[in-house]
């Protein structure tokens, strides 16, 4: 159960990071509300998962999921440039996260 909550919390990290970018310095109400809700839920889920998972592994998985999803979203919808190297490196992050899960 902790792994499922951790993955969902990582997804919420991407949500709040993207909302933060769209909030224009927390001056736009809707993205700011999404940022605050996503951040709170993501942290609650992370803290729940870290009750049973090692902190180093849990945090690395959480931040990696958030980083990869945020980058993919930005490349797909946010105008960030896409390159083969970026894609390969993001796949590498996913592979490392899978390795952490297997090593646990």
pLDDT at 102 over 90: no
User: pLDDT at position 78, please?
Assistant: 85
- pTM beyond 0.75, yes or no: yes
Token reading at 66: 């958030």
Distance, CA of 30 to CA of 71 (rounded, Å): 21
Secondary structure letter of residue 37 according to DSSP: H
pLDDT by residue (tens digit) across 18-72?
Answer: 999 999 999 999 999 999 999 999 999 999 999 999 999 999 999 999 999 999 9
pLDDT at 98 over 80: yes
- Name the domain count of the chain: 1
Distance, CA of 6 to CA of 72 (rounded, Å): 19
Instruction: Quote the Cα angle for 97-34-87, to 5°.
Output: 35
Structural domain for 34, as ranges: 2-103
User: pLDDT at position 8, please?
Assistant: 98
């Amino acid at each position: 159960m902790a792994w499922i909550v951790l993955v969902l919390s990582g997804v919420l990290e991407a949500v709040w990071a993207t909302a933060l970018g769209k909030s224009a310095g927390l001056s736009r109400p809707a993205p700011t509300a999404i940022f605050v809700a996503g951040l709170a839920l993501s942290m609650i889920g992370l803290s729940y998962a870290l009750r049973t998972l090692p902190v180093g592994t849990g945090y690395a998985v959480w931040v990696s999921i958030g980083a990869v999803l945020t980058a993919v979203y930005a490349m797909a919808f946010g105008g960030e440039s896409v390159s083969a190297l970026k894609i390969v490196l993001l796949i590498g992050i996913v592979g490392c996260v899978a390795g952490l899960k297997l090593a646990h």
